[in-house]
Amino acid sequence: MKDMSEHRWLPAVAAVFVTSLIISNITAAKLIVLGPFYLPAAVLIFPVSYIFGDILTEVYGYAQARRVIWIGFACNLLAVLVLTLSVAMPPAPFWKIGALESPEASQQAFRAVFYATPRILLASFLAYLAGELLNSFVLAKMKVAMEGRHLWMRTIGSTVVGQFADSGIFILLAFYGTVPFPVLLTIAASQWLVKSAYEAFMTPFTYWAVRFLKRVEQEDFYDRLTDFNPLRWRD
């Protein structure tokens, strides 16, 4: 495997991955209607992290993808800490958001959008790590087993597994005991289906990106001897 500095496009792929993750956390506070489903607005961007996670693993290998996943975790943690601190600090006496009439009203609006309870944060962090690492692991194993054939089957299959873990862990940890259990299952299943369908729909883009990166990077890594310990940082 080449060193990270030898891959010209790896920083750009990692940047899209991390950015989509952070934006999804910021937009998750809004619920939207998507056909018959009620979903967080994050569904518009969060599946992109899985698409680029697939690209990372397919081109650069599990070890590089694992490193980017942990970088994303650290960046997300930093964003959460800064947002939490900004919510906790008192507003300036002249500060207002849009048409809101007072700093107090603006502060309430700001808090409603950017503050998350410790339970929600814990659920989000655990779901992200489990889902992304599973997604990368399954794709890497399938690539070796299939000898690099059927990319569409690997990307969709790994996403189905990863998104199942992500949606199930987040919904159950975040809302168990506050929402009837059958409703929790419906919400988790809806997110899983929509996110997996997103991945399938974006398969042509994934094919194009993988072919482009393999050609320009001269890299097509197979994880035959990889240490799949999710806590390992070095290759």
Q: Is 7 helix (H, G, I), strand (E, B) or coil?
A: coil
Q: Is 146 helix (H, G, I), strand (E, B) or coil?
A: coil
| Residue 54 maps to a domain | yes
pLDDT band at 171 (very low <50, low <70, confident <90, very high): confident
| Residue 229 maps to a domain | no
| Residue 92 maps to a domain | yes
**How would you class 171 by CB atoms within 10 Å of its CB: exposed for 0-12, middle for 13-18, buried for 19 or more?**
buried
* Of 67 and 117, more confident: 67
Work out the percent of the chain whose per-residue pLDDT is above 70: 97
Provide the CATH number for the domain around residue 41. Answer: 1.10.1760
Element (H, E) at 6: none
Kindly list the distances between the CA atom of residue 130 and the CA atoms of 8, 9, 10, 164, 182, in Å, as whole numbers in the listed order.
28, 26, 22, 10, 23
Number of domains in the chain: 1
The residue assigned the tokens 């960046």 is: 75
What tens digit of pLDDT does each residue of 30-85 get?
Answer: 777 777 777 778 888 888 998 999 999 999 999 999 999 999 999 999 999 999 99
pLDDT value for 41: 80
pLDDT value for 98: 83
Q: Identify the domain containing residue 161 by its residue range.
A: 4-217
d(CA 136, CA 129): 11
What tens digit of pLDDT does each residue of 224-233 get?
Answer: 999 999 988 8
Q: Is 153 helix (H, G, I), strand (E, B) or coil?
A: helix
Q: Taking 70 as the threshold, does the pLDDT of residue 4 lie above it?
A: no
Q: How many residues does the chain have?
A: 235
Is the distance from CB of 217 to CB of 59 less than 8 angstroms?
yes
d(CA 106, CA 89): 13
pLDDT band at 5 (very low <50, low <70, confident <90, very high): low
- pTM value? 0.90
d(CA 196, CA 192): 6
| Residue 10 maps to a domain | yes
pLDDT band at 188 (very low <50, low <70, confident <90, very high): confident
